[in-house]
Structure 1
Amino acid sequence: MKALPIMFLGSFFILSTSSAGAQITNPKKVLERKVTNKANQAINKEADKAVDSAFKAKKNPNEPKKETTPANDTTVLPAGGSEPSLQSYTKFDFVPGEKVLFYDDFSQEAIGDFPAAWNTNGTGEVVTTNLYPGKWMKFAMRECIWTDELLKLPDNYTIEFDIVPLGGLEGPGMSGWQMRLMQAKNAKAWDGGSAPGNGGFKFEVAYYGRPGYSTWFYGDECAAAKLSGYVGDEILKEKINQKYHISIWVQKSRIRIYQDQNKIIDLPKAFPTGCVKPDRLRFEYGSAMISNVRIAIGAPDMRSKLITEGKLVTYGIYFDVNKDVIKPESYGTLKGIADVLAENPDVKIKIIGHTDADGNDANNLDLSIRRAAAVKSELVKTFGIDAARIDSEGKGEIQPVAPNDTPSNKALNRRVEFVKQ
């Protein structure tokens, strides 16, 4: 079971290789394809060995052995070696979109399968780990994995995902990874080349951990507006086998990227008007595990919703699976709500927690109560809101706003409501 807007981790997948085009009849091309598939299989085996080795190395040798399975192991070792706190996110101004367009935590996929909402011209699989809870999509290859259906993205939207960089692609160290937010030419297949599709934005992490970016466009005027650069701060380099939360905020031409609590890229003219309209998210060339992919639109007008309409529904307060501890990437949303309350000192509110229908009804109710209470506690403790102004309660799974049949719909049901009293 899960509840309120969650960002979590999970397991991954190794796919059977799928062809991106028509059937190949040329014997030379058949041979080349078989060689590529064989190489990908070898790469994935090496990645598995590297991950297993890293997981074993992180275990405390003095800790007593206990019976657990990867699927229910909730041990989390965040980047930096210690649990990040809400206070460490005081400069984090990211607020996720309100309406979910796409969500996948791979919870409905079988271990070892390739997830249904994605496509590939390489390999990948859904897996679990003993370090990070949930299910993950894992890849180690030089090919691509992309959202199968084209995304209908407006001018303003947000993208979030959790990622764990892995090794195994080239040598024992971290392999790096790449993500493209692009406009596809081929709706049903992949776009090849170093500048695929009709243009877009690429975020990449090199094998030595340094994040960087580039854009590509077509046409004389648009091509001249392309950008590239990198993040030079040594502290912001990614490390192998550590989890990172990536948040992307697109507002017309502007794109901002956050790595955990840090805003690392802010480009006001990343997407020049009329040059590109992204409709696909793609991961490629590298080795990593990905989960909790969330694409949403419409940043909420918190003041209008709460003060004028009397009710604010938010999906920007995150918890790990079955837990009531607020994740620090919730800071931007909590601060926005606290600011509204501070500006309206006579307003009293009730915080209501809701879950999806996974798991036991009584457990869901208890979890929603505890999560609502945790939100109240943070507003009081971290933001100085008078506790007498806030009530809290949980409704569990009894008031869904969507069927509990897909990851996207379940994500809609996992929410926190603020009701003016």
Structure 2
Amino acid sequence: MLAIILTGSNVMAQGLFNKLKQKAEKIAGSAIENVIDGKVKKEEQSQSSKSATKDPGISDQDASSTVQRTGLNSTTVYDFVSGSKVLLADDFSQDAIGQFPLKWYTRSKGEVVTLNNAKGRWLRLYPGSFVSPVVNIGEHATIEFDLIMDWPLAGGYMVPAFNFAFYDRGNKGDIMSYDYRLKNCLKVSIAPYRSEAAVQLTSYENVAKKIETDKYRVANFDKKVGDVVHVAISIQKERIRIWLDKEKVFDLPNAVPVNSNFNQLKLDMGSSNYTNDQLGFYVSNFRFAAGSEDSRSKLLSGGKLETSSILFATNSAEIKSDREGIIKEVATVLRGDPTMKIRIIGHTDAVGNTNTNLLLSKKRADAVRDILINDYQINMAQIETDGKGDTVPVADESSEQNKAKNRRVEFVKI
């Protein structure tokens, strides 16, 4: 019996000893880990302080290539110019709050509302399609509208895409009917995902798909949530350019269907798992206007660009307006080819003294040159100026309209 008791005591003592040993090893291991962890943290802090002078977000691996790129600068300009002749404007100011606008069409639900952080009235969209009033857009046009997309940044669902598209043969709400047969269409999709948005354009010409672009990704789109995003579109025959908040997302020379005859805009809001009180898409301030031809192509291919849209004060070289943005277009051409040279030639009507008109035309050409140099940083060596006064008219001066045609500026490629 005593042997059994002593044996049991030894077993218990051995078990206790093993437990104490494991605990000691655990404490020692923890202490070593703390020491190592402290060393690692110190090394991380040291490494962090060493890289503090580098651009944030640049890793050691690409830091050297970043240094090599520091001498490379990329510049661009916002060269959208709104058309001067308004074809359709709608800010829903004539519509009652809480009602669907009278001039628009839908098979879904929409209502005119006011917002606490944006002026004016807005059409709130719900999942479905919405069609604008009929308007003949033409082969040269500009289209603008404001868009607000609002959703919970901390939400866990996919945000629905917002689409807008131009159609031909539109007749009120017929585009939404099942009897409508697609012929020519230009569709743009804005699909938010996480912090960015993917923008894609698809074009159809005579039913067949003409082009489908790659997805252009707008970075930091989540920062635009709840704020106004200005959408600007320029159509010049087959060429289309699209901007979101002055960021050009597309400049496609052959995307618009030939002889498209677009006459209606359709908006689409996708469905979502978000509830209506969590999600809000709003549009307003629509402006359709007649645009101008592609001035850049004229100068590059034809070697000459002539315009009466640069308006001067009477008997003065002061530029009052450049309603079609010709100077900006010429600046874009010159900036794209620093070796290119042009001659700017001023012309006047025949009112007044011929010698006075000759001097005035030269001063007006100089005024255009000065804007290119001072406002658009074009090299002075790329530009020559001349004035012809009233000696080279393009129309008789039997009417004020013809006189305006003679008051023009030429850009000639040298």
- Normalised to the residue count of structure 2, the TM-score between the two structures is 0.50
Structure with the higher fraction of residues in helix conformation: 2
Structure with the higher fraction of residues in strand conformation: 2
Q: Comparing both chains, which one has the higher relative contact order based on Cα–Cα distances under 8 Å and sequence gaps of 6 or more?
A: 1
Larger Cα Rg: Structure 1 or Structure 2?
2
- Normalised to the residue count of structure 1, the TM-score between the two structures is 0.49
